[in-house]
Amino acid sequence: MFSGFMVHAWAVASIVAIVAGLVGFFVVLRGSAFVAHAVPNGSFAGAVAASLIGVNTLIGFGVFALFGALTIGALGHRGRHDVATALTLVLMLGLGALFVSLSVEYAPEVYALLFGEILGVSISQLIPTAGLAIVCVIAIALLYRPLMLSSLLPEVAEARGIAKARVDLAFLAVVALATTMTVPVVGTLLIFSLMIGAPAAARSFANEPLSALALSVVIALAIVWAAIALSYQTNYPVGFFVGTLSAACYAVGRVWAAWRRRANVGRGTIPRLAAASHEQAELH
């Protein structure tokens, strides 16, 4: 379980979990779950296209993820944001359908792209993944304050001269970047459940933004490690465990938050982060 090719799987999965936990925290904070679903899902087409013309699938993922994020950003300015996201996503998936029918890739590869194949990770995937992860973490560190402000208190951010559109676009680019590196491991359909489940659970447990962020990474790591171990033991797909464990973590978080709210009503303490995000919801 910890020897040979499995070492790569553990290493890549840990990197993926760290990035998913970090980026996902802001995805949940900003309420942009749909975008986090659409960008990786749509980049599926890029991977098939890349294998069609014979280049590294990572490049295909990157190009399509970026293309998707920019299209969503451009179309979302006008009209309804969710409609723009949905239509961009299906356009890319439609292209994916075309590429699948044109290519010589057969069903198992399509399945692996959609649902992930963590056990087949090689050393050649490990190095670019680590590199992209570092870029991602640096980008999040640089964007931390403006992202935080524009997510929680949009008015204050605007007053301080933070351009909302530019922060939005930068964030979309980070999501695209995170997608590029994580998708080949857990699949286009499942990275998103890791990006949502872990931070959503973390937010129920921690009030401080920074500790919630750290907890989000820890939970993501726990989910991925458990998923690999279970998948190795049972031979069932990793995606199944990632998806269901993420949902389970969220459920536990909800129960915990409900229980604590009941305990706090008497004392009158309101968690700071929850209060801030509530305020944000009312502003919209």
Partner 1 sequence: MSQPLAAIFAPGFFTSQIVQVAATVSAVAAVVCGTVGVFIVIRGQSFAGEALGDISTTGGSGAFLAGAGPLWGFGVAAVAASAVMELIGIQRPRGRDLATGIVLGAGLGLAALFLYLDSVYHNTTGATVSLVFGSMFAITSSSIPAVIAFSALAICLVAALGRPLLLSSVSPELAAARGIPVRLVGAAFLLALAIAVALAAFTIGTILSTALLVGPAATALRMTRSPARAIAAAAAIGIAACWLGIVLSYDSYDWYHQSGKSWPVSFFVVTLIFLGYLLSGLPQRLRRRRASVASDPAPAARLS
By CB under 8 A, the residues from 43 to 82 that bind partner 1 are: 78-80, 82
Q: Taking CB under 8 A as the rule, does residue 10 contact partner 1?
A: no
The residue range among 5-13, 60-68, 160-168, 235-243 that interacts with partner 1, by the rule CB under 8 A, is: 235-243
* Min dist. Cβ of residue 264 to partner 1 (A): 19
By CB under 8 A, the residues from 152 to 181 that bind partner 1 are: none
* Min dist. Cβ of residue 115 to partner 1 (A): 4
SS3 for the chain is CCCCHHHHHHHHHHHHHHHHHHHHHHHHHHCCHHHHHHHHHHCHHHHHHHHHHCCCHHHHHHHHHHHHHHHHHHHHHCCCHHHHHHHHHHHHHHHHHHHHHHCCCCHHHHHHHHHCCHHHCCHHHHHHHHHHHHHHHHHHHHHHHHHHHHHHCHHHHHHCCCCHHHHHHHHHHHHHHHHHHHHHHHCCCCHHHHHHHHHHHHHHHCCCHHHHHHHHHHHHHHHHHHHHHHHHHHCCCHHHHHHHHHHHHHHHHHHHHHHHHHHHHHHCCCCHHHHHHHHHHHHC
Choose which of 4, 54, 108, 161 interacts with partner 1 (CB under 8 A). Answer: 108
Q: Taking CB under 8 A as the rule, does residue 96 contact partner 1?
A: yes
Q: Taking CB under 8 A as the rule, does residue 110 contact partner 1?
A: yes
The residue range among 5-13, 156-164, 207-215, 246-254 that interacts with partner 1, by the rule CB under 8 A, is: 246-254
* Min dist. Cβ of residue 33 to partner 1 (A): 4
Choose which of 244, 252, 270, 273 interacts with partner 1 (CB under 8 A). Answer: 244
Choose which of 2, 233, 267, 284 interacts with partner 1 (CB under 8 A). Answer: 284
Backbone φ and ψ for 230, nearest 5 degrees, come out as: -65, -40
In the complex, which residues of this chain contact partner 1 (CB under 8 A)?
Answer: 28, 31-34, 36-38, 41, 78-80, 82-83, 85-87, 89-91, 93-98, 100-102, 106-108, 110-111, 114-116, 187, 189-190, 192-194, 196-197, 200, 236-237, 239-244, 246-247, 250, 254, 277-278, 281, 284
